[in-house]
């Protein structure tokens, strides 16, 4: 099977033949775990094990000077010593950049390579603030902090968040956090963060206690779900949540319960991942006794466990596609918010079955078809689906699949009053009786974006 590891092995072999004088150096977490094995397997000249900030320039200088270096190079480095990670002349305008304000992980998650290095080190705040100012001046679009648990140190977390809010209100910053560690003070602060400034990724992984215990993940799951709900519904922070299928002791039915638990918090995005048994992790070492069967090839994905079959895992990949298409996309906002939170998980599970039966899972289709399929599958939701259809700017007339009571009205004077500059199209909808009760008005106006910029709905006005 063609994989990145095999690709590297083949590439090194070809480079040896074409450029025998070239020095080949490998680095990264996989080769760092057992670097001596990597020397035998890939046959590089050197392996840098662990951090490379000091080892790489030292190796270059040694090669220039003709000095001998060990084939496995280990040179730990402090974040106090590391330089600004980007070159001054790099064109980073409108780019996403990764930034490390701390290194190491306090957790011991059995599936993660980060658990190998439990020594936590924080980059001094004055250096962090200096680095962020440089990135801001370079015009970056987003700074993605790669700290494994950004809110590990409460006072430090608040100092950085306050600094970002005050200095870069037009910026965008992404963090990985532990939701159950969010304090009341932090939550109140996050409620004041303007929309678009912060994004947060929260790894739930499972809500099943025996599974969390098996993977060494100490989580107050009740508090986590409560904080996830509060962050999603009471702040303008964009919240991403993650689950992992194929973990020890979690059956198909129990994973679906984890899914229901998380989706009912109304997190902005939900990603369903699938367990990878990486070399050097505790789950990989204990896979046999735990009944975990995984692929021999990168990324070493789980194939089945004693609790969940290959077919069930494959079905969950269909659920992940459904969630991405109908939930994460944001295209069906009006429809989904009118499904009760307690039933939202079951709705998406049932929709996955309908898509599978119609052979529509993972199938490329125009966006218009997604609306049609949903409206025909759930006629009771068709009115809401129509509102979402119009909000995406897909049409300015009723689609052929809609058979309900909503209709378009034409009122030029009102349209110009609502959009006086005559740039933004306006759609006036006479609502059905059901939607009149929901929106508390007989009519709504959709103020659309400029056609050649962003044609989607900018706001809804009750008339």
Q: Which residue, 173, 267, 168, is CA-closest to 227?
A: 267
What's the CATH class of domain 96-308?
alpha beta
Render each residue's pLDDT in the chain as its tens digit; 463 residues.
Answer: 445 777 888 999 999 999 999 999 999 887 887 888 889 988 999 999 988 999 999 999 999 999 999 999 999 999 998 889 888 888 999 999 999 999 888 888 999 877 666 688 999 999 999 999 999 999 999 999 999 999 999 999 999 999 999 999 999 999 999 999 999 999 999 999 999 999 999 999 999 999 999 999 989 999 999 999 999 999 999 999 999 999 999 999 999 999 999 999 999 999 999 999 988 899 999 999 999 999 998 889 999 999 999 999 999 999 999 999 999 999 999 999 999 999 999 999 999 999 999 999 999 899 999 999 999 999 999 999 999 999 999 988 999 999 999 999 988 888 888 877 667 789 999 999 999 999 999 999 998 887 777 788 888 999 8
d(C-alpha 147, C-alpha 103), whole Å: 6
User: Domain extents for the chain?
Assistant: 4-73, 96-308, 405-462
Q: Which two tokens stand for residue 312?
A: 């069930």
> Which residues does residue 201 pair with via DSSP β-bridges, in sequence order?
176, 240
Encoded tokens for 35? 């670097």
Beta-carbon count within 10 A of 405 CB: 14
Does this model's pTM top 0.85? My answer is yes
Rounded CA-CA distance 215/221 in Å is 14
| CA dihedral (24, 25, 31, 36) positive or negative | positive
- For 347, other C-beta atoms within 10 Å of its C-beta total 19
Contact criterion met (CB below 8 Å) for 72 and 44:
no
Cβ-based burial of 194 (10 A; exposed 0-12, middle 13-18, buried ≥19): exposed
- Residues paired with 142 in a beta bridge: 96
As given in the structure block, the two tokens for residue 197 are 């400034």
Strands 238-245 and 269-274: parallel
Backbone angles phi, psi at 69, to 5 degrees: -130, 145
Chain-centre distance of CA 229, in angstroms?
17
Chain centre distance of CA 78:
29
Both tokens assigned to 271: 């990603």
Instruction: Work out the angle at residue 327's Cα, subtended by the Cα atoms of residues 322 and 330, and round it to the nearest 5 degrees.
Output: 135
Length of the chain: 463
Q: What is the dihedral of CA 176, 347, 312, 270, to 10 degrees?
A: -10
CA gap 267, 322 in Å, rounded: 16
């Amino acid at each position: 099977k063609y994989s990145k590891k095999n690709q590297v092995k083949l590439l090194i072999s070809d480079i040896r033949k074409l450029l025998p004088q070239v020095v080949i150096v490998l680095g990264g977490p996989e080769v760092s775990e057992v670097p001596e094995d990597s020397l035998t397997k890939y046959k590089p000249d050197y392996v840098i094990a662990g951090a490379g900030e000091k080892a790489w320039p030292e190796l270059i200088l040694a090669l220039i000077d003709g000095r001998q270096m060990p084939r496995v190079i280990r040179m730990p480095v402090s974040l106090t010593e590391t330089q600004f990670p980007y070159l001054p002349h790099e064109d980073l305008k409108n780019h996403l950049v990764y930034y490390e304000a701390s290194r190491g992980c306090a957790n011991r998650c059995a599936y993660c390579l980060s658990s190998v290095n439990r020594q936590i080190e924080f980059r001094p705040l004055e250096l962090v603030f200096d680095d962020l100012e440089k990135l801001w001046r370079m015009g970056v679009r987003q700074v993605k902090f790669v700290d494994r648990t950004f809110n590990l140190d409460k006072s430090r977390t608040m100092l950085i968040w306050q600094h970002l809010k005050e200095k870069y209100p037009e910026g965008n910053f992404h963090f990985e956090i532990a939701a159950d560690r969010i304090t009341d003070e932090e939550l109140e602060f996050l409620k004041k963060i303007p929309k678009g400034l912060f994004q947060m990724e929260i790894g739930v992984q499972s809500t099943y206690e025996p599974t969390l215990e098996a993977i060494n993940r100490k989580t107050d799951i009740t508090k986590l779900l409560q904080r996830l709900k509060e962050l999603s519904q009471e702040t303008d922070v964009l919240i991403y949540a993650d689950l992992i299928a194929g973990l020890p002791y979690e059956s198909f039915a129990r994973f679906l319960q984890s899914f229901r638990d998380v989706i009912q918090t109304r997190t902005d995005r939900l990603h369903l991942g699938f367990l990878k048994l990486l070399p050097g992790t505790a789950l990989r070492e204990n896979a046999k006794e735990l009944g975990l069967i995984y692929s021999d090839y990168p990324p070493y994905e789980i194939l089945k466990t004693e609790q969940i079959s290959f077919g069930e895992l494959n079905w969950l990949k269909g659920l992940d596609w459904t969630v991405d298409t109908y939930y994460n996309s944001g295209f069906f906002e009006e429809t989904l918010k009118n499904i009760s939170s307690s039933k939202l998980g079951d709705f998406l599970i049932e929709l996955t079955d309908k898509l599978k039966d119609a052979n529509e899972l993972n199938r490329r289709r125009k966006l218009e078809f997604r609306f049609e399929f949903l409206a025909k599958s759930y006629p009771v939701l068709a009115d809401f689906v129509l509102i979402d259809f119009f909000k995406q700017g897909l049409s300015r007339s009723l689609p052929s699949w809609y058979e309900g009571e909503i209709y378009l009205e034409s009122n030029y004077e009102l349209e110009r009053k609502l959009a006086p500059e005559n740039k933004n199209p306006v759609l006036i909808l006479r609502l059905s009786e059901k939607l009149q009760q929901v929106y508390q008005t007989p009519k709504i106006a959709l103020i659309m974006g400029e056609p050649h910029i962003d044609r989607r709905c900018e706001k809804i006005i009750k008339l």
